[in-house]
Structure 1
Amino acid sequence: MAYDNLFIVLAVAAGVPFLLALLPRARLPGPVLEIVAGVVLGPAVLDLVQPDATVEALSIIGLSFLLFLAGLEIDVRRWQGPLARFVAAGLAGTVALAVLVGWVLDLGGLAESPLLVGIALVATSLGLLVPILKDADAVDRPVGQLIIGGASAGEFTAVALLSLFFSEHASGPGVRLLLLLGLVCLTGLVVVTSMRAGRSRWLSRTVLKLADTSAQIRIRLTMLLIVGLSAVAMHLGFEAILGAFIAGAVLRMVDPDAEQTHPRFHVKLEGLGYGFLVPVFFVTSGIEFDLGTLFADAGTVLRVPMFLAALLLVRGLPVLAYRRAGLSRAELVAAGLLQATSLPLIVAATTIGLKLDAIRPENAAALVAAGLLSVIVFPLLALPLLNRPRGSASAGSDEKQA
């Protein structure tokens, strides 16, 4: 193992928050600066840092932990009643539009695998949106609940489809579908077993006693769950990120009130993820970004706004299904912009696609660049709309009738 490259990566991770503090009006998400810093310091520009084995290993773990934290935000109790119907309608529209966009790109000779491009466009960066919604005090408002629900559905669908059709380890789609059903059944068994174990008074007292000692038992059990489900996913022929994402959703189901009953637990998980592992993934993504391929010809550069428009179409337009939820026009536009904000799954999909020769390097670079722009531009446009006062009561009723 070598630590020189890792030291530079961690230096960038530590420096970005200070830079953001010096530029409060910039309102840029930290991951964007981390990726840009990786591009500048990496082989594409200054060539001061290389993605060696140590950095790459931690980057993969960082991506898994990011998806685990995204899965942790999925609260199935929210997916009930009208909310579930609105989210389901929006997801159906997203999938239909993704198929259509992929088919059009394939007809135009702009996509080697329309399915891979479609899957990459389905996801929303749930892990990036939740902090934005919290800062805007919108998490508990209807618009926040719909955005989180829609982002959760898109994220899960994209991860599942990516693992189902583009895993490096599995065979045919039919076999993979059966294995996916097996993974779902195993996940249900883990949930039921964990809930029954949680009813044990002795076990509950022991966990409570050891939670904040050097044993940090909740963190150890969580890491066991993440690695265990990731290993099972890989043995079944899927990507480890699917297991990590499911682990987050499982933990939320097993311990839905953790933020109220033992709030330090989630703080510790976010500290481990956002303080160490996740920034390594973002900085390394910048280091590995193929800037030369992106600017090799004008055609590749022109694909960036094309993919950005595709993101807005596939993820933004389906928020029209939320009209009957009583949202104002400003909130609908904000929801569309935020749901079109996507980066981690695009990076994961293009990385896997390059390994499987399912996407050309220039398309991969343009897709990642479009994801970067979506993370920079869309939240900046959406935040003022989220904070805009709703109109009069009569205007609100007109919105509901629309």
Structure 2
Amino acid sequence: MSYDNLLIVLAVAAGVPFLLAMVPRLPVPGAVLEIVAGVVLGPAVLNVVTVDAAVQSLSIIGLGFLLFLAGLEIDIRQLRGPRARLVGLGLVGTLALAAIVGLLLRVAGLAESPLLVGTALVATSLGLLVPILKDVGAIDRPVGQLTIGGASAGEISAVVLLSLFFSEHSSGPGAKLLLLLSLAGLAMLIVLASMRAGRSMWLSRAVEMLADTSAQVRVRLTMLLVVGLSAMALHLGFEAILGAFIAGAVLRLIDPDAEQTHPQFHLKLEGLGYGFLVPVFFVTSGIQFDLGALFSDAETVLRVPMFLAALLLVRGLPALAYRSAGLSRAEVMASGLLQATSLPVIVAAATIGLKLDAIRPENAAALVAAGLLSVVVFPLLALRLLGRSTVQTGRRPMSSPGGGR
């Protein structure tokens, strides 16, 4: 096994944060630069790096860990209570619009699988939204809670739909649904068993004692959970990313206040993910990005703004339902823009679709390019609107160290 290509990928991952630090006004999330760097260094442009076995293996693990961290961001408490009805109404609108847009694209000959394209349009980059909302002091305001709730619902729906209908292991939808319920049941058993084990004084003391030693027992147990549920998802005929995503949600259910009670734990997980595995996935996605297919003709290039508009329609328009919660017009618009910000699930959907011949390379490239633009353009517009809303309501924005993930 050669480490040459992996060395270049890791050099890109290490260099991107320095570039962002040198140009602090550059309004581009690190993930976008990592993908762009992969495109430039890959076969499409300079051809100095390729995807070999080492890079491919770590990229697959990185995608799983990215979905795990996304699941970890989901707070089930945001999906219940008085705002749950609005979140549910927004999700129904999103799913309906995704189905309509997918079918229209199919009729126009721009999508081979309307279900795949519709599923890709449903998700939101939850990991990017949380730090943005913290930065402007909106995380605890109704606009922040509704946006996070809507983003969580969209992320869950997209991952489940992707796993149900686009797994390499074929079986009927009815059987898949039954297996999915089995996986959900297993996840709940793990939650209940973990909560019961947490009541053991001896076990709690042992975990506390070993958590910050070389044993790093919390991290080891977490990796056991991620790999275990990923393996179970594969055995049941789903993509491993579904198991990884569920692992994140399970861990959040088991320990919902971990960021306050033992904050170092989440920092360690983010260090492993965002410091190592996730950048490998994004750089590898750039290396595999089919730039030639994107610029093969003018029609393909024009699909990028079309897919971007579809994202805004499918994820942004349902935010109008939040107006009844007392949100201002600026807050509703900002929420819609943030919910239309999506990249990881789009990249995952395009990757899986290409493997299954469910999407043509040019459409996959245009879809990913639209996702890249969404994480650059939409948050910037939303920040301006939220800043205006903060001034109008007399609230002062809080300072936060959050950054774009």
Q: Tell me the TM-score normalized by structure 1.
A: 0.96
Using the TM superposition, give the Cα deviation of residue 21 of structure 1 relative to its aligned residue in structure 2, in angstroms: 0.9
Using the TM superposition, give the Cα deviation of residue 133 of structure 1 relative to its aligned residue in structure 2, in angstroms: 2.1
Residues 78 and 148 in structure 2, CA contact (< 8 A), matched pair in contact too: no
Residues 156-177 of structure 1: CA distance to partner in whole angstroms, max 9, x if unpaired?
Answer: 1000001001100131111111
- Please say if 1:166 is aligned against 2:158: no
Match in the other structure for 2:344 = 344
**Equivalent AA in structure 2 for residue 322 of structure 1:** Y
Residues 112-131 of structure 1: CA distance to partner in whole angstroms, max 9, x if unpaired?
Answer: 11111100100111122222
Helix, strand or coil: the match of 1:241? helix
- Please say if 1:198 is aligned against 2:207: no
Residues 241-265 of structure 1: CA distance to partner in whole angstroms, max 9, x if unpaired?
Answer: 0000000000000011111111110
Residues 209-252 of structure 1: CA distance to partner in whole angstroms, max 9, x if unpaired?
Answer: 00000000000000000000000000000000000000000000
Match in the other structure for 1:222 = 222
Using the TM superposition, give the Cα deviation of residue 379 of structure 1 relative to its aligned residue in structure 2, in angstroms: 0.9
Match in the other structure for 1:89 = 89
Take 2:127 and 2:391, find their aligned partners in 1: how far apart are those partners?
30
Take 1:267 and 1:137, find their aligned partners in 2: how far apart are those partners?
21
- Please say if 1:112 is aligned against 2:95: no
Match in the other structure for 1:144 = 144
Helix, strand or coil: the match of 1:252? helix
Using the TM superposition, give the Cα deviation of residue 266 of structure 1 relative to its aligned residue in structure 2, in angstroms: 0.5
1:241-320 to 2 correspondence within 5 Å?
241-320=241-320
- Of 384-393 and 181-190, deviating more is 384-393
Using the TM superposition, give the Cα deviation of residue 274 of structure 1 relative to its aligned residue in structure 2, in angstroms: 0.7
Take 1:130 and 1:285, find their aligned partners in 2: how far apart are those partners?
24
Take 1:225 and 1:390, find their aligned partners in 2: how far apart are those partners?
41
Unaligned segments of structure 1, at least 5 residues = 394-402
Match in the other structure for 1:359 = 359
Match in the other structure for 1:121 = 121
Using the TM superposition, give the Cα deviation of residue 391 of structure 1 relative to its aligned residue in structure 2, in angstroms: 6.8
Take 2:384 and 2:5, find their aligned partners in 1: how far apart are those partners?
39
Residues 170 and 238 in structure 1, CA contact (< 8 A), matched pair in contact too: no
Match in the other structure for 2:34 = 34
Residues 67 and 127 in structure 1, CA contact (< 8 A), matched pair in contact too: no
Helix, strand or coil: the match of 1:213? coil
Residues 330 and 389 in structure 2, CA contact (< 8 A), matched pair in contact too: no
1:374-393 to 2 correspondence within 5 Å?
374-390=374-390
Match in the other structure for 1:328 = 328
Match in the other structure for 1:208 = 208
Using the TM superposition, give the Cα deviation of residue 392 of structure 1 relative to its aligned residue in structure 2, in angstroms: 6.0
Using the TM superposition, give the Cα deviation of residue 299 of structure 1 relative to its aligned residue in structure 2, in angstroms: 1.0
Residues 6-27 of structure 1: CA distance to partner in whole angstroms, max 9, x if unpaired?
Answer: 1111111111111111111112
Match in the other structure for 1:398 = none
Match in the other structure for 1:233 = 233
Take 1:389 and 1:77, find their aligned partners in 2: how far apart are those partners?
25
Take 1:149 and 1:65, find their aligned partners in 2: how far apart are those partners?
21
Take 2:367 and 2:133, find their aligned partners in 1: how far apart are those partners?
25
Residues 78 and 146 in structure 2, CA contact (< 8 A), matched pair in contact too: no
Take 1:72 and 1:380, find their aligned partners in 2: how far apart are those partners?
25
Using the TM superposition, give the Cα deviation of residue 380 of structure 1 relative to its aligned residue in structure 2, in angstroms: 1.3
Q: What RMSD over aligned residues (CA atoms) do the two structures have, in Å?
A: 1.3
Take 2:78 and 2:338, find their aligned partners in 1: how far apart are those partners?
19
Helix, strand or coil: the match of 2:82? helix
**Equivalent AA in structure 1 for residue 8 of structure 2:** I
Using the TM superposition, give the Cα deviation of residue 132 of structure 1 relative to its aligned residue in structure 2, in angstroms: 2.1
**Equivalent AA in structure 2 for residue 128 of structure 1:** L
Residues 282-315 of structure 1: CA distance to partner in whole angstroms, max 9, x if unpaired?
Answer: 1111111000000011111111111110000000
Q: Tell me the TM-score normalized by structure 2.
A: 0.95
Take 2:72 and 2:385, find their aligned partners in 1: how far apart are those partners?
27
**Equivalent AA in structure 1 for residue 10 of structure 2:** L
Residues 126 and 148 in structure 2, CA contact (< 8 A), matched pair in contact too: yes
Helix, strand or coil: the match of 2:275? helix
Match in the other structure for 1:24 = 24
**Equivalent AA in structure 2 for residue 74 of structure 1:** I
Helix, strand or coil: the match of 1:384? helix
**Equivalent AA in structure 1 for residue 202 of structure 2:** W
Using the TM superposition, give the Cα deviation of residue 138 of structure 1 relative to its aligned residue in structure 2, in angstroms: 2.2
Take 1:254 and 1:203, find their aligned partners in 2: how far apart are those partners?
15
Residues 328 and 389 in structure 2, CA contact (< 8 A), matched pair in contact too: no
Take 2:333 and 2:38, find their aligned partners in 1: how far apart are those partners?
32
**Equivalent AA in structure 1 for residue 244 of structure 2:** A
**Equivalent AA in structure 1 for residue 275 of structure 2:** G
